[in-house]
A and B are shown apart, each in its own frame.
Chain A
């Protein structure tokens, strides 16, 4: 989170609404450790990352929805053959994210 603090502060100064996504759990092979963070502003700008670029697009969609509804939630991304073309991690692991509005 440290690396996105300056941008978060700039967004807050501009009065943007912000959703924060943090990796809380990694099973198997995963690109980033728990604590990796990204944030999405209400106009769709993105800072930080939570994987090697595999799931960031899907996280943006979730984050914008969470800004809309205000409902914080856990989101998982994994890999299975059934979903070879769905969003997932090519490295074979599963990551769990907690996504919430930055309203605290």
Chain B
């Protein structure tokens, strides 16, 4: 008793991906199978074939970060509904890499934490990249973009975000170069439209292709008229959500005119 719970709990706390499959309807209701990404299983749903099929599905659900109910025959048959299994995916928190220890960074790191991100702030300048300035970040790295991507690049996927706030080509060109080489779901780059136009020239010079450039959300954030670091952080986080869900929201990238306009009358 408690062995399955403890195995599940330890994986969640250690931030290792794990899926919990529970029979919720059919014979053996309550039977459980803990499934790890490599297909290792603990527990049983009551039949070895059912365990085999459900663990295979659970590995897929876990990779996609999905949670939901699936139906099977008593021995795992497809297109039968004797057994309903609730497959719950527990994924480690998504990663938000923030480049640039600037005044917008603290607000963005706080908003990132609010959304459940594991927030890493990086800047090559040790005077600025300090825990004292960014106590809310999970990690503060004094590092160039290359070092950050050497550490985190392979772990970035569709649910993760890279926010480049440096607006200094020395940092943001290598950061973008490395970001577009990953599977990260969101790449936002701060700077005015003019800054970005210049940046695009440099990016093309160093060999970033149009597919990579299409992935950049720049100027960063939604066009909601944000001004302060906090408002900007909200517009960036909202853009990250809209980008992930595919919902229609007005990105600054797709609008024209000044980023900061005077408020409309009234």
Contact B86 A22 (CB under 8 A): yes
**Is the C-beta of B69 less than 8 angstroms from some C-beta in chain A?**
yes
Complex interface: chain B residues within 8 A of A35 (CB) = 67, 88-89
Residue of B nearest to A2 (CB): B12
- Complexed CA–CA distance, A8 and B68 (Å): 23
The count of residues in chain A whose C-beta lies closer than 8 Å to any C-beta of chain B is 20
**Is the C-beta of B9 less than 8 angstroms from some C-beta in chain A?**
yes
**Is the C-beta of A87 less than 8 angstroms from some C-beta in chain B?**
no
**Is the C-beta of A46 less than 8 angstroms from some C-beta in chain B?**
no
Contact B30 A100 (CB under 8 A): yes
Contact B13 A24 (CB under 8 A): no
Complex interface: chain B residues within 8 A of A1 (CB) = 12, 88, 90
**Is the C-beta of A90 less than 8 angstroms from some C-beta in chain B?**
no
The segment from B21-29, B75-83, B124-132, B137-145 found at the interface with A is: B21-29
Complex interface: chain B residues within 8 A of A104 (CB) = 1-5, 30, 32, 43
**Is the C-beta of A61 less than 8 angstroms from some C-beta in chain B?**
no
A-B contact count (CB 8 A): 47
- The residues in A between 39 and 97 inclusive whose CB is less than 8 angstroms from any CB of B are 72-74
Query: Would A9 and B9 be within 8 Å (CB), given that A24-B24, A104-B30 are in contact?
Result: yes
Within the complex, what minimum Cβ distance (angstroms) separates B70 from chain A? Answer: 11
Contact A102 B67 (CB under 8 A): no
Complex interface: chain B residues within 8 A of A74 (CB) = 24-25
Contact A103 B88 (CB under 8 A): no
- Complexed CA–CA distance, A103 and B3 (Å): 10
Contact A5 B90 (CB under 8 A): no
Complex interface: chain B residues within 8 A of A5 (CB) = 9, 12-13
- Complexed CA–CA distance, A20 and B183 (Å): 36
Most buried by B among A2, A24, A103: A24
**Residues in chain B within 8 A of chain A (CB atoms):** 1-5, 9, 12-13, 22, 24-25, 29-30, 32, 43, 67-69, 86, 88-90
**Residues in chain A within 8 A of chain B (CB atoms):** 1-2, 5, 8-9, 12, 22, 24-25, 33-35, 72-74, 98, 100, 102-104
Please name the 8 residue pairs, one residue from A and one from B, whose CB atoms are nearest each other, closest first: A24-B86, A35-B67, A98-B24, A72-B30, A34-B67, A104-B4, A35-B88, A2-B12
